[in-house]
Chains A and B, each alone.
Chain A
Amino acid sequence: MFSLESFVNIKSVTDEIDLWNNMRSSMSIDGDLIHGVASALEPLREWFNTLEMPTWSQAGEFIDQVMESLDRVWKAEGRGSQV
Chain B
Amino acid sequence: MPQSPITSFILCTHRYPEKRMRHLLDIMSSAVGRSVQRELRVIGIWEKTFATVRPELILGLRLCESWCKACEELIILWKDNTKGHSWVGFDYKDEFMLLLVRRLQEIITLRQTREELSRLLTGEFDRENVQKQMQNVRSGTMVGSLGKHFAGIDPLLCSHHTDAAWSSSRVAMQA
Does A pair with B?
Answer: yes
By a beta-carbon cutoff of 8 Å, the part of chain A in contact with chain B is: 4-5, 7, 10-13, 16, 29-30, 33, 37, 48, 51-56, 59-60, 63, 66-67, 70-71, 73-83
By a beta-carbon cutoff of 8 Å, the part of chain B in contact with chain A is: 9-17, 19-21, 23-25, 27-28, 31, 34-36, 38-39, 59-60, 62-63, 66-67, 70, 73-74, 77-78, 82-83, 85
**Are A83 and B82 in contact, CB atoms less than 8 angstroms apart?**
no
Closest to B34 in A: A51
A63 to B72: give the CA distance in the assembly, Å.
Answer: 12
A53 to B25: give the CA distance in the assembly, Å.
Answer: 17
Give every chain B residue within 8 A of A16 (Cβ-Cβ).
Answer: 24, 27
A45 to B25: give the CA distance in the assembly, Å.
Answer: 15
**Are A5 and B15 in contact, CB atoms less than 8 angstroms apart?**
no
* A38 shortest CB reach to chain B, Å: 11
16 A/B residue pairs, CB under 8 Å, sorted by A:
A5-B19, A5-B20, A7-B23, A10-B23, A10-B24, A51-B38, A56-B62, A66-B28, A67-B73, A67-B74, A70-B74, A71-B74, A74-B15, A74-B21, A77-B15, A83-B14
